[in-house]
């Protein structure tokens, strides 16, 4: 079926049955102090990070925040297709995709507007970290697939892609990590789940600018102390931004340590294996 690529494709004609359930529509319109999974407001879900899980790709990584599961693969640099001019800086090609069964509503195979938007955010978050002039005229392909989305999938995707890049030995200035913050009035929740995200973005906004409502995702390079990407949707007042960013950075630094551990651990395993084979 030909698709008009200039337009955002219309929603599929089928609808998720849960829409019709009374309970679903009465989803928590607010965020309580006690989170439904029993976490503190500034507590991140437990994180699992693994690298080198795919054998075909040059680098790959898997990140799991309980029910948010993201997989990413990075391939060897290849010449930038359809480009005649010489470009000093190499390119990053990012593709962000939801698996069609990853969300409540089934996703199509063609990338929709949201996925394209996340692809752009992903690229913007990673670009400052990669030393791109070392592979002039080449591009590195990064494919992120969300296997299951239970909130904070962009943050998970950025951290995951960063691990995959490191695993693929693409030269980088620093590690990039990302964290989401959900805002709902006086509640600020780190790493919101899908239902919390929906509550934070439920319209019309009951909280006005003074209190804030919405989601902020910040990706951060710890050593350079640079914010590589910030995405905010919702409503807030400009005076509270300092507070939010400080909170997000503090959390990012924790994830940075995890990423480091993961990478170092992987190298140690490699070295041990090498030693063993040599000994044998």
Partner 1 sequence: MYSILFSDAEKTYIWDGVELNLRNDGRKRNDYRPMELETDVVTHASGSARLRLANTDILVGVKAEIDVPYPEAPNVGKIEFFVDCSANATPAFEGRGGEDLANEISSALLKAYDVLPLNNLCIVPGFSCWKLYVDILILECGGNLYDSVSLAVKSALYNTRIPNVKGTYIDGTNVDLQLSDDLFECWKLDVSKAPCFVTLCKIGEYLVVDPTVEEEACSTASIVVSVGENGSITGIFKIGEGSFHQNAICDAIKLAGTIGNELNKTLKLALEKEENLGIRRERYGFLK
To the nearest whole angstrom, how small is the minimum distance from the Cβ of residue 266 to partner 1?
Answer: 26
Distance in angstroms (rounded) separating the CA atoms of residues 70 and 192: 16
Residues 160 and 259: their CA atoms lie apart, in Å, by 9
User: Which range binds partner 1 by CB under 8 A, 36-44, 124-132, 143-151, 156-164?
Assistant: 124-132
Q: Which of 113, 264, 269, 271 binds partner 1 (CB under 8 A)?
A: 113
Contact 49, 259 (CB under 8 A): yes
Name the one range near partner 1 by CB under 8 A: 7-15, 43-51, 65-73, 158-166: 7-15
DSSP 8-state class, residue 116:
H
Distance, in Å, from the CA atom of 72 to the CA atom of 166, rounded to the nearest integer, reads 12
Of 33 and 203, which has the nearer Cβ to partner 1? 203
Cα–Cα–Cα angle for 253, 184, 48, nearest 5°? 35
Q: What are the backbone dihedrals phi and psi of residue 36, each rounded to the nearest 5 degrees, phi first?
A: -65, -20
**CB 102 within 8 Å of CB 151:** no
Q: Per-residue string for binding with partner 1, 147-186, x by CB under 8 A?
A: ----------------------------------------
Does 277 participate in binding partner 1 (rule CB under 8 A)? no
- HSE of 55 in the Cβ direction (CA atoms, 13 Å)? 0
Residues 6+ apart with CB under 8 A from 10: none
Backbone angles phi, psi at 251, to 5 degrees: -70, -40
Of 151 and 214, CB closest to partner 1: 214
**46 vs 204 by CB, closer to partner 1:** 204
Q: Which is nearer to partner 1, 144 or 230 (CB)?
A: 230
Tokens of 121: 């955010």
Binding mask 69-108 for partner 1 (x = CB under 8 A): --------------------x-------------------
Element (H, E) at 78: strand 78-79
User: Taking the complex as a whole, how short is the minimal distance between the CB of residue 88 and partner 1, in angstroms?
Assistant: 12
| Interaction mask 221-260, partner 1, x per CB under 8 A | x--xxxxxxxxxxxxxxxx-xx--xx--x-----------
The phi and psi torsions of 91 (rounded to 5 degrees) equal -105, 160
Would you tell me which residues interact with partner 1 (CB under 8 A)?
5-8, 15, 19-20, 25, 89, 113-114, 116-117, 120-121, 124, 127-128, 201, 203-205, 208-209, 216, 221, 224-239, 241-242, 245-246, 249
């Amino acid at each position: 079926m030909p698709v008009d690529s200039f337009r955002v494709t219309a929603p599929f004609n089928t609808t998720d049955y849960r829409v019709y359930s009374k309970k679903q529509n009465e989803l928590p319109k607010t965020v309580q102090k006690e989170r439904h999974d029993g976490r503190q407001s500034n507590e991140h879900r437990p994180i699992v990070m693994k690298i080198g899980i795919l054998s075909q790709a040059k680098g790959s990584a898997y990140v799991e925040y309980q029910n948010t599961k993201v997989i990413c693969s990075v391939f060897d640099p290849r010449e930038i297709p359809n480009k005649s001019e010489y470009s000093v800086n190499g390119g990053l090609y990012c593709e962000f995709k939801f698996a069609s069964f990853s969300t409540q509503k089934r996703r199509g195979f063609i990338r929709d507007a949201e996925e394209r938007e996340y692809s752009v955010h992903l690229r913007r978050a990673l670009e400052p970290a990669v030393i791109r002039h070392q592979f002039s005229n080449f591009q590195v392909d990064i494919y992120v697939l969300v296997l299951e989305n239970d909130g904070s999938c962009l943050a998970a995707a950025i951290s995951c892609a960063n691990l995959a890049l490191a695993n693929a030995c693409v030269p980088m200035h620093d590690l990039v990590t990302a964290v989401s913050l959900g805002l709902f009035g006086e509640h600020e929740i780190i790493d919101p789940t899908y239902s919390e995200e929906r509550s934070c973005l439920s319209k019309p906004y009951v909280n006005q600018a003074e209190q804030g409502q919405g989601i902020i995702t910040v990706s951060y390079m710890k050593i350079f102390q640079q914010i590589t990407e910030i995405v905010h949707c919702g409503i807030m007042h400009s005076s509270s931004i300092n507070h939010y960013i400080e909170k997000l950075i503090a959390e990012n630094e924790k994830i940075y340590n995890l990423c480091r551990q993961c990478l170092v651990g992987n190298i140690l395993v490699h070295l041990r294996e090498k030693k063993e084979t040599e000994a044998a």
